[in-house]
Amino acid sequence: MRFFLLVTPFLWMLCEADVIVVKEMFGEIRTPNFPESYPSETEVTWNITVPEGFRIKLYFIHFDLEPSYLCEYDYAKVETDEQILSIFCGRESTDTEQSPGQQVIVSPGNFLSLTFRSDFSNEERYTGFDAHYSAVDIDECSERNDEDMVCDHHCHNYIGGFYCSCRFGYLLHSDNRTCKVECSDNLYTQRSGIISSADFPSPYPKSSDCLYRIELEEGFVINLQFDDNFDIEDHPEVSCPYDYLKIKAGRKGFGPICGEKSPG
Ligand SMILES: *[C@@H]1O[C@H](CO)[C@@H](O)[C@H](O)[C@H]1NC(C)=O
Ligand SMILES: *[C@@H]1O[C@H](CO)[C@@H](O)[C@H](O)[C@H]1NC(C)=O
């Protein structure tokens, strides 16, 4: 009896530390002794890591664990480094406990941890589980939503990553996602002409820094007239904190101008 008392805590500590680090792109995870019944008082964790740009898909082709209320005795726990995704036990799902059935678990990131735990008895000789996992590519391009677009213009997914590109006439910003217009080098020398913001009448592109120069021969003055269709982002209290138009003519300066009212 004394021997038993001494040995049990030691074994428990040993089992607690049983973590198997897995770095393969696919594989099979089985309970100890599978397909024979699993040992009692066992805890094993498989920590699966796949490269960035991939997720982990996990499903069970066989599942047979001792059922218990809220899976408090034997269980299989699937978690990320931040949250528990599922706790399974039994053979079939009940109101209070879940068994995985045909469910396919997909990790939110490139890490997934699967823990198998059994308590002191496995009297009915439950056989445990046989799980399979594989790395699946994240299609970053199809995950865009309007709030947080992956790329400004074109998104290209490849296995393990993605990249952005821009429409003709635009340059990729150093953030590798935003497209900015190339418009800093415009010279107008004709006696009349039209200048409009990039993409006009569609919204102008973000991160733009455009310069338009008008230069005529000596003896002319320049008359600049704005269309009524004028719209530059403004602010109700602060004067043109985001976007603006500025005009310089010799020593004279106009602006910053913003808002919806055309300067005429
Ligand atoms: C395995 O994953 C668990 C859960 O995220 C973590 O607490 C533990 O430190 C990991 N162990 C190893 C050896 O990676
Ligand atoms: C953009 O891409 C280049 C080349 O692939 C890379 O060196 C750089 O670190 C990336 N910049 C950002 C902000 O991701």
Could you read off the pLDDT of 205-221 as tens digits, one per residue? 887 889 999 999 999 99
Distance 124 CA to ligand 2 centre (A): 57
Over residues 67-104, the pLDDT tens digits come to 999 999 999 999 999 999 999 999 988 888 889 999 99
Residue of 21, 22, 87, 113 best suited for mutating to test ligand 1, as the one with most atoms within 8 Å of CB? 113
- Rounded distance between C-alpha atoms, residue 49 and residue 135, angstroms: 9
Q: What is the mean pLDDT of the chain?
A: 88
Task: Reply yes or no on whether the pLDDT at 147 is more than 80.
Answer: no
Question: Which atom of ligand 1 lies nearest, measured to the CA of 47?
Answer: 1
Question: Which atom of ligand 1 lies nearest, measured to the CA of 113?
Answer: 2
Distance 35 CA to ligand 1 centre (A): 26
Nearest residue CA, atom 6 of ligand 2?
A: 176
Confidence class of residue 185 from pLDDT cuts 50, 70 and 90?
confident
Number of residues in the chain? 264
State whether the beta carbon of 81 lies less than 6 angstroms from ligand 1.
yes
pLDDT at residue number 26: 97
State whether the beta carbon of 176 lies less than 6 angstroms from ligand 2.
yes
Confidence class of residue 43 from pLDDT cuts 50, 70 and 90?
very high
Distance 47 CA to ligand 1 centre (A): 6
State whether the beta carbon of 162 lies less than 6 angstroms from ligand 2.
no
Residue of 176, 179, 207 best suited for mutating to test ligand 2, as the one with most atoms within 8 Å of CB? 176
Say what percent of the chain tops pLDDT 70: 92
Nearest residue CA, atom 5 of ligand 1?
A: 81
Task: Reply yes or no on whether the pLDDT at 245 is more than 70.
Answer: yes
pLDDT at residue number 17: 54
Question: Which atom of ligand 2 lies nearest, measured to the CA of 176?
Answer: 1
Note the pTM of the prediction, 2 decimals: 0.68
Task: Reply yes or no on whether the pLDDT at 14 is more than 70.
Answer: no
| HSE-up (13 A, CA, CB side) for residue 197 | 20
Locate tokens 């982002």: which residue? 233
State whether the beta carbon of 1 lies less than 6 angstroms from ligand 1.
no
Distance 178 CA to ligand 2 centre (A): 12
